[in-house]
Amino acid sequence: MPRTTFDRSNVQGGKQWGQAKQKQVEEIDDEIETIITQNVYPEVEELEEKLAAYKDQFITYDLDGSGDLDDNDVRVMMEKLGQPKNQIEIRKMIKEIDLNGSGTINYKEFVHMMLGGKSSIMRMILMFEEKMKAKEIPTGLPPKKSFSDLP
C-alpha cells in the first residue's frame, strides 16, 4: 500500500487521519472477505473471529497508517509487548515474514504469519501476549501461610 501523507500545516488533520484509517479498515475487510471466500485456511476453526482479532491488532500496530508494518511499527510493537529488539533483529523478523520482498509486513502477510504453518518469533510473541491478557489478577487479601508451607 502506498504511504499516506498528511499536510502538517493543517491543524484540522484529525478528519483526514480518520478518513485514511477508515479506508485502511475497508481495504483490510476486503482482504478478509477474499481469504474467507477463497478458503485459504480451511483447517482453521473460527476463522472469521481470528481474522477480526488480527485486523484489530494490525491496525493498532500500524502507527503511520500506511497499511504496512515497517521497521518503526514493529519496533514499537515489540517494545509494547515487553520484548524490545534492535534494528537488526527487527529487519530479520520482517524478512522472515515478508513474502513479496517489500521490506514491510502487509495484512495478508500478517495473517499468513499468524495462521500459516511456519513458526516465527513475532507469532510466538503475539500469541504469548494474547495468553497474558486472559490472566486475571487475584483480588482481596492473600491466603494465610504457615511455616509448613515454606519450601
Structural domain total, the chain:
1
Residue 39 lies in a domain: yes
Is residue 147 assigned to a domain?
no
Using an 8 Å Cβ cutoff, are 67 and 106 in contact?
yes
Residue 62 counted as domain residue? yes
Reported as a single tens digit per residue, the pLDDT across 123-149 is 667 766 666 565 667 788 878 888 888
Say how many CA atoms lie within 13 Å of 80 toward its Cβ.
15
What's the mean pLDDT in 89-97? 88
pTM greater than the 0.85 cutoff: no
